[in-house]
């Protein structure tokens, strides 16, 4: 099945152009099922790939030899999950701030890794 999604956004009070995105599906979907699948796809993009790029500069990474890109990507995902899972501070802090604090303080980093000092 080939599905098409027409997208129209308003950003900062200004309307964008109408965008059409096409998707290949391995099974027949209703319009509602297609909408759920597309939302799930973009949810992964926004919660994982975008976060990796913003917090770790993954798109700018120039590691390209052998298995290094896959290994480095896996390590970044592990670190992102460790930072997200750290709820010991009752203060709501951005992932960037949590990462910086872990880099600056050995005790915080050890706590995030589950290695209590």
- Full DSSP string of 4-53: EEEE--EETTEEPPPEEEEEE-SS---HHHHHHHHHHHHHHIIIIIHHHH
Which helix (H) or strand (E) element contains residue 3? strand 2-7
Tell me how far apart the terminal alpha carbons of the chain are, to the nearest angstrom.
Answer: 55
pLDDT band, very low/low/confident/very high, at 90 (cuts 50, 70, 90): low
* 12, 45, 60 - which closes a domain: 60
Regarding whether 93 and 53 lie in a shared domain, the answer is no
Q: How long is the chain? A: 117
Cα(61)–Cα(80) distance, integer angstroms: 16
Range of the domain at 93: 62-117
Run of H or E including 104? helix 95-104
User: Where does a domain end: 23, 40, 60?
Assistant: 60
| 109 and 83 inside one domain | yes
Residues 12 and 38 in one domain: yes
* DSSP, res 78: H
The domain tally of the chain equals 2
Residue 83: count of CB within 10 angstroms of its CB: 20
**Is there a single domain that holds both residue 48 and residue 100?**
no
What's the rounded mean pLDDT across residues 30-39?
91
The answer, yes or no, to whether residue 117 has pLDDT greater than 70, is no
Model-level pTM greater than 0.75? no
């Amino acid at each position: 099945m080939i599905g098409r999604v027409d997208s129209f956004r308003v950003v900062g009070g200004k309307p964008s152009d109408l965008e059409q995105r096409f998707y290949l599906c391995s099974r027949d979907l209703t319009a509602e099922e297609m909408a759920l699948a597309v939302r799930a796809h973009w949810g992964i993009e926004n919660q994982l790939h975008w976060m990796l790029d913003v917090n770790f500069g993954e798109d700018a990474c120039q590691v390209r030899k052998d298995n290094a890109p896959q290994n480095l990507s896996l390590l970044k995902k592990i670190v992102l999950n460790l930072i997200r899972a750290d709820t010991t501070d009752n203060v709501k802090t951005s992932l960037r701030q949590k990462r910086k604090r872990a880099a600056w303080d050995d005790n915080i980093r050890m706590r995030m890794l589950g290695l209590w000092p």
